[in-house]
Amino acid sequence: MATPAPLSLPPFDWDIFCCVVDNFGDIGVTWRLASQLRREGRGQVRLWVDDLASFARICPGLDPARDGQWQQGIYIQRWQGDIASETVPARVVIEAFACELPALFVQAMTEQSPPPCWINLEYLSAEAWVEDCHGLASPQRVGNRSLNKYFFFPGFTAKTGGLLCEQGLITAREQWQQDEAGLAAYWAGLGLPPKGEDELRISLFTYESPALISLVQSWCQGPTPVTLLLPLGRSLRDVLTGAGLANAIPTAQAGDLLHSGHLTIKLLPMTDQAGYDRLLWSCDLNLVRGEDSFVRAQWAASPFLWHIYPQDDQAHIAKLDDFLNHYLAALPTDVAHWLRAFNLALNHGQDVRELWAQWPQFATIWQQHARSWSQKLLVDGDLVTRLVKFLESRI
């Protein structure tokens, strides 16, 4: 579709601003939000992004060389520095993860009557203080005028903003996981045979961690055949080192099929978001990172381990513990203790071989818990449902 001149763009209902901080996490969340708003008929969406090259890795139709373009009914605008003075803000302006809006854009917001509703969409957190801060207004002085900016916190309780989950996702997941012929065709499309009766299929999309080396060693040396689906990325070196395949690191590329002991490694290219969902739905265990893949692993209703974004002051470990307090609450003590230890060991880079050895003992109850957990998360509605309800009294 041809890109219209700026002045011929339609009026927008939503402006969403995103700074790409860690390649795919921030843009992953905002792209899903924009897509859900558009698909569910919530209005016209414009997404402002400062790094289109990273964005294109999860949106293959996107042209990183173009400043403005339509993708899947959403207008994508390159955002570098300030904006055109004639830009008209949308009715709702979302500042994702405290990225700072362009000064001219904020000034234009003050000139609207009524002014847009300004939302600071925060990072997902299970910390207790989030409930107290969710929905609070922060007055912003712009010249001689004032705007309210509202804090919107995704979270795991009824007093937060919930999690992104588009309509029809759970039904689509159920159909996918129950379609044996479809799953066989999916594996064939990746160059793999149907899953064996005693085989485990595991996806891994994490940051670097020495824990991966010991985990992969367990898979190579253990009695259970394991096929690891590994998108090319930051964990490649640790995985191949653990498999004794360090000599393959310099030439590794998507499509490679590598073997070490009882472990088969299939290297995958980066995929679009729908493709990543299907990968999560197809696996027995998913190792995920950051925020977007972490949330999607929960909708997959399968066991997962979370490699949270590391922070120098170790604040991420406290955040991980806060999440685990929610996630493990309904589990028997021995299972909860094991899962907490496993998540912490992964994030601390510790040896996890003894922890992995307990997988056969706890896998079934973990699988059952993963399914009930995904149902529980939607009892009070998904993020977009809660966001629209929040806005209804403010627009």
- Given 26, 122, 292, 382, the catalytic residue: 26
- Asked if 334 is an active-site residue, the reply is no
Order across the sheet with 285-289: list the strands.
257-260, 263-268, 226-231, 200-204, 285-289, 304-307
By CB atoms closer than 10 A (0-12, 13-18, 19+), residue 198 is exposed
Those residues with Cβ within 8 angstroms of residue 259's Cβ, 6 or more apart along the chain or in another chain: 265
Which stretches does DSSP call E strand in the chain?
14-18, 45-49, 68-71, 74-78, 92-96, 117-121, 137-142, 145-152, 200-204, 226-231, 257-260, 263-268, 285-289, 304-307
* 313-346 CB burial, b ≥16 within 10 A, e <16: eeeebebbebbbeebbeebeeebbebbbebbbbb
* 392 labelled catalytic: no
Please choose, from the candidates 217, 231, 334, 218, the residue with its C-alpha nearest in 3D space to the C-alpha of residue 278.
231
Strand, helix or coil for residue 272? coil
Tokens 């020495």 belong to which residue? 210
Which member of 51, 277, 291, 292 is catalytic? Answer: 291
Angle made by CA atoms 75, 97, 390, in degrees to the nearest 5? 80
Report the C-alpha gap between 111 and 86 in whole angstroms.
12
Query: Nearest 5°: phi and psi at 251?
Result: -110, 5
Question: Residues with catalytic annotation?
Answer: 26, 291
